[in-house]
Amino acid sequence: MTALIDYQTMDDHIAILTLNRPEAMNALSKGLLDELNEYIRKINADSNIRCTIITGSSKKAFCAGADLKERKGMTEEQVIEAVSYIGNTVTNIENMKMPVIAAVNGAAFGGGLELSLACDIRIAAESAKLGLTETSLAIIPGAGGTQRLTRLIGSGQAKRLIFTAKPVTSDEALTLGMIEHMTSSENLLQEAIETAQAIVRNGPVALRQAKAAINQGSQTDMTTGLSIEYLRYKETVSTEDRLEGLQAFTEKRKPVYQGK
């Protein structure tokens, strides 16, 4: 049986997860979600992994969202359960300890876009299209799309995209702030890898604490956010890596961080 998720590592510290259902535009079947969650657990438990990249297996699609063929035979209760499973999986991605990069290689619709919104950084191919298209099926985004997209690009633009169900090009997505970078299809994975390599050169504890400070602080008022930042900063002070960073700076060499 063909694996629905392809997993590989690079440079000891980078994990690459590739959604591998090209015949179904990498739609989120239960089997794919099961494998994805297993790899999320595996990566989170591996202290060597400091950055994760998620991409799709073909130029045509990053992820087309829920598997509508699978859903067709479901009861209403089963549909609700399936949507909840996608939402929980997306949240599991958001809560990964290390930075996560979405390399959006093709269409990212519905749950596929919601998956990318849970990542920390989104890099898209010029040919990619992105959209929350659920209202065209008489439903709404149910895996965090109404919340994460609104926080990313503002309520007015989020409403426009969700109400019209119209996908946007990568160029417009970049202008809106839905993605952080756009590149050619040929260069996409390499750009994501180079971004990951720049990330993993930095202190692993600092990366985890910075991600937590941003994610937690962005949900609160400024005063609370600053308190969260302060507490997260304190977590880095007693680390061996902080001392290594200072020593490397003094010796004019690249630091060698151990995540301790």
Q: How far apart are the C-alpha atoms of 182 and 188, rounded to whole Å? A: 8
Nearest to 101 by CA among 158, 180, 205: 180
124 catalytic? Reply is no
Decide: 66 and 141 in contact? Cβ < 8 Å: no
Q: Out of 111, 112, 131, 142, which one is annotated catalytic?
A: 111
Q: Out of 35, 56, 82, 134, which one is annotated catalytic?
A: 134
134 catalytic? Reply is yes
Q: Quickly list H helices, the chain.
A: 30-44, 68-72, 76-94, 111-117, 145-153, 155-164, 170-176, 188-200, 204-217, 222-237, 240-251
Decide: 21 and 27 in contact? Cβ < 8 Å: yes
Beta bridge pairs of residue 183: 125
Q: Out of 24, 66, 118, 196, which one is annotated catalytic?
A: 66
158 catalytic? Reply is no
66 catalytic? Reply is yes
Q: Which residues contact 153 (CB under 8 A, 6 or more apart)?
A: 176, 177, 178
Q: Out of 15, 114, 144, 145, which one is annotated catalytic?
A: 114
Residues taking part in catalysis: 66, 111, 114, 134
